């Protein structure tokens, strides 16, 4: 079987490690290089011990060679400054940072605190959210994967906005709980065990940068929603649970909501509606999604008002990052969408 050559730039972080794990076992991919400026020349097992059976060393960025597909796992603000040189080294570039997610250059100053270095590329990229942009991803040569918390919220809310059942004059309230791996593997006082253990910490009650992506993708037919987003850190390593509150138009029934979600998840292998009558897992649960590329979506209609509570959950390193990038690769190359992503969640864990 002929394989394509792929490389990962910035492979020493949690997302980079997860991407390596998936690529090294992908049946149609040959991993050519994995770069890290900090650990160049050292075996990847030093940073990613789960990959110790693979005798691969990190390369330096200036040692990067041409390949078919290049994955970028760099910190925010770096990809946009090097994108022209990196694009010259691969036919397809899949960026997992936030550098090309937004469509409007001015939003980077507002939400990220910097001016975009390559604004002309923002309207040439395709957003790496397969459930919304599958056909575009098939033809793309620059794919910008969405953020983990924004992916979780968008997948839960988009079908409702698209169906026009949410009141436009009412706010959308979203609160996302996330595990520690979402903040990366850079050392900080906030990540110390004494600080993180047992925590339920509101770390970004307002102005989280993923708000911009959520507003962007929920703006349909020019109607910009009133999105209010908060982020909370919890004692978990992986996983995101987004709880969203929307207000339905008069006359919308629970049967209508069921029909909207059933239609949305149809033919989408990584979306699952979860709304059980029995058991401990009646609604979406990040814990049982660890290691999978699945996003679970559930809902509950308030019997006392027109409020609908939407719950969506995923593994932030998989469907929220590396798994989503592999899903985009599969679509772009014309392969089966779930190739290399067939992992079933563990239980109990």
Task: Indicate which residues carry an active-site annotation.
Answer: 148
User: What is the Cα–Cα distance from 99 to 97, expressed in whole angstroms?
Assistant: 6
**Secondary-structure percent of the chain, ordered helix, strand, coil, rounded to 5:** 35, 25, 40
**DSSP letters of 84-104?**
HHHHTTEEEEEE-SSTTS-S-
* Count of helix runs (H) and strand runs (E) in the chain: 9, 13
Residue 56: name the closest of 12, 121, 106, 97 by CA.
Answer: 12
φ, ψ of residue 95 to 5 degrees: the values are -100, 125
User: What is the Cα–Cα distance from 199 to 98, expressed in whole angstroms?
Assistant: 27
Lookup: tokens for 157: 């809310």
User: What is the Cα–Cα distance from 48 to 58, expressed in whole angstroms?
Assistant: 11
Q: Whose structure tokens read 């949410």?
A: 166
The answer to whether 245 and 305 have CB atoms below 8 angstroms apart is no
Residue 46: name the closest of 6, 17, 8 by CA.
Answer: 17
């Amino acid at each position: 079987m002929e394989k394509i050559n792929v490389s990962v730039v910035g492979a020493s972080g949690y997302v980079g490690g997860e991407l390596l794990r998936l690529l090294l076992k992908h049946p149609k991919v040959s991993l050519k290089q994995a770069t890290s400026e900090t650990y160049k020349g050292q075996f990847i097992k030093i940073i990613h011990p789960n990959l110790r059976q693979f005798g691969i060393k990190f390369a330096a960025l200036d040692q990067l060679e041409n390949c078919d597909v290049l994955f970028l796992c760099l910190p925010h603000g770096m990809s946009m400054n090097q994108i022209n040189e990196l694009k010259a080294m691969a036919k397809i570039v899949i960026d997992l940072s936030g550098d090309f997610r937004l469509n409007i250059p001015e939003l980077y100053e507002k939400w990220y605190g910097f001016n975009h270095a390559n604004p002309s590329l923002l309207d040439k990229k395709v957003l790496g959210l397969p459930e919304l942009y599958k056909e575009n991803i098939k033809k793309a040569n620059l794919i910008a994967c969405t953020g983990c918390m924004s992916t979780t919220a968008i997948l839960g809310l988009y079908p409702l906005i698209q169906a026009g059942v949410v009141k436009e004059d009412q706010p959308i309230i979203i609160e996302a709980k996330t595990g520690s791996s979402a903040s990366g593997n850079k050392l900080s006082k906030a990540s110390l065990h004494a600080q993180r253990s047992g925590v339920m910490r509101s770390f970004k009650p307002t102005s989280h940068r993923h708000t911009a992506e959520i507003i962007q993708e929920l703006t349909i037919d020019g109607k910009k929603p009133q999105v209010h987003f908060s982020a909370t850190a919890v004692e978990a390593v992986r996983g995101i649970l987004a709880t969203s509150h929307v207000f339905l138009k008069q006359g919308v029934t629970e049967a209508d909501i069921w029909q909207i979600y059933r239609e949305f998840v149809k033919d989408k292998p990584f979306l699952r509606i979860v709304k059980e009558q029995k058991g401990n897992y009646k609604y979406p649960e990040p814990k049982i999604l660890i290691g999978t590329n699945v996003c679970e979506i559930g809902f509950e209609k308030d019997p006392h008002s027109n409020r609908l509570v939407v719950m969506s959950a995923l593994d932030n390193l998989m469907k929220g990052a590396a798994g989503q990038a592999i899903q985009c690769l599969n679509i772009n190359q014309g392969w089966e969408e779930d190739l290399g992503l067939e992992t079933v969640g563990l239980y109990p864990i």
